[in-house]
Amino acid sequence: MLFCFMPISTAFSDHSAGPAALCQLLGTRHPIVQGGMVWCTNADLVIAVGQAGGLGTLGAGSMYPAELREEIAAVKAGFDGTFAVNVPLLYPAVEEHMQTIVEMGVPVVITSAGSPKKWTKFLKDRGVVVVHVVSSAAFAVKSVAAGVDAVVAEGFEAGGHNGREETTTLCLVPEVVAAVNVPVIAAGGISCGRTMMAALALGAAGVQMGSRFVATAECPAHEDFKAHILAAAAGSTKLRLKGVTPVRMLDNTEGGFSAQVAEAEARSASPEALRELLGRGRAKRGMRGGDLVEGELEIGQVSARLDNLPQAGDVVRDVVAGFEALRTQLSGPSFHWS
């Protein structure tokens, strides 16, 4: 069934947790999610992804409540399809954000960085689809017990905050797929049709991409940060701050923030000292403000593969086209050896 030509969303239609089920759940044409990202999302990005058939997501983790309201209103004014809001559950304004989401009729919420126990029922009772981000099969099982409709299984490669387990996407996705009976969305290292095919071959119902969407025309990140992403090579990102909150970040220029953290970690700095070094506003300073020395620059390993700043809709269309081309190739002679 997988190797014939048909829309991705119907290829696994016999599977209740496959791409068709995921597309139906999210209301999208394609099982492709633009992940929530602090300082790197706005209504323009979400609309572009939604119009191309994916799920655009506003990253509420860096928005004041009034800003979130404005961005949701702008999405609704520009597009009448589905979209999501990502709420990191440790965020101080989570209560206000949840009220806004319900009042303004946001169809999908992607929660992360915390326990889904508290808010899942509240949202689902009000008709919101809930997806939770996990970095282990054990947490995926707990999330499903809390009532979530789907999980994002996010591997070690991913940009931004990351699990302590350091499990790569290749190892994590099949573990999570085997552990739960809801659609699993693979995240971490995905940027093209080939990586999407790999994720679906592992049993994922769809993919979530973050880094690929930072390097797009619509993303509101600073242009200097985007240029720095395009210059990234293998090894340019590291998982830092594991003793506080693990986060994958890009090396700064001039031995900046990431190197300072590495130096502090090498001399076994205490969590308090690391928190003090992190301070406040680093992520905004780097990603929105373009301070490539002192700012925190969150991005995934896949940055080493990114070499252009396309329109976000073209990212979705290219991933789908690449996936379809590969599907044909996989049924050809080069994939048979006996």
Ligand X SMILES: Cc1cc2nc3c(=O)[nH]c(=O)nc-3n(C[C@H](O)[C@H](O)[C@H](O)COP(=O)(O)O)c2cc1C
- Binding-site ranges for ligand X (CB under 6 A): 35-38, 40, 59, 61, 86, 88, 112, 133, 154, 157-160, 187-190, 208-212, 214, 287, 298-300, 302
How far is residue 201's CA from residue 19's CA, in Å, rounded to a whole number? 12
Minimum CB–partner distance for residue 282 and ligand X (Å): 12
Which residue lies nearer to ligand X by CB, 7 or 114? Answer: 114
Minimum CB–partner distance for residue 271 and ligand X (Å): 21
Minimum CB–partner distance for residue 219 and ligand X (Å): 9
Are 274 and 265 spatial neighbours (Cβ–Cβ below 8 Å)?
yes
Are 175 and 307 spatial neighbours (Cβ–Cβ below 8 Å)?
no
Which residue lies nearer to ligand X by CB, 177 or 219? Answer: 219
Minimum CB–partner distance for residue 132 and ligand X (Å): 9
Which residue lies nearer to ligand X by CB, 9 or 195? Answer: 195
Shortest-Cβ-distance residue relative to ligand X: 210
Minimum CB–partner distance for residue 280 and ligand X (Å): 16
DSSP for residue 58: E
In this structure, the number of other CB atoms found within 10 A of the CB of residue 102 comes to: 16
173 membership: H or E segment, kind and range: helix 169-179
List of E strands, 140-250: 150-154, 160-161, 184-187, 206-209, 237-240, 247-250
Minimum CB–partner distance for residue 214 and ligand X (Å): 5
3-class SS letters over 262-288: HHHHHCCCCHHHHHHHHCCCHHHHHHH
In this structure, the number of other CB atoms found within 10 A of the CB of residue 116 comes to: 25
Which residue lies nearer to ligand X by CB, 77 or 90? Answer: 90
Which residue lies nearer to ligand X by CB, 19 or 160? Answer: 160
Minimum CB–partner distance for residue 126 and ligand X (Å): 21
Which residue lies nearer to ligand X by CB, 217 or 330? Answer: 217
How far is residue 101's CA from residue 91's CA, in Å, rounded to a whole number? 15
- CA 179 → CA 20, 130, 141, 205, 219, distances in Å? 20, 18, 7, 14, 35
Which residue lies nearer to ligand X by CB, 53 or 295? Answer: 295
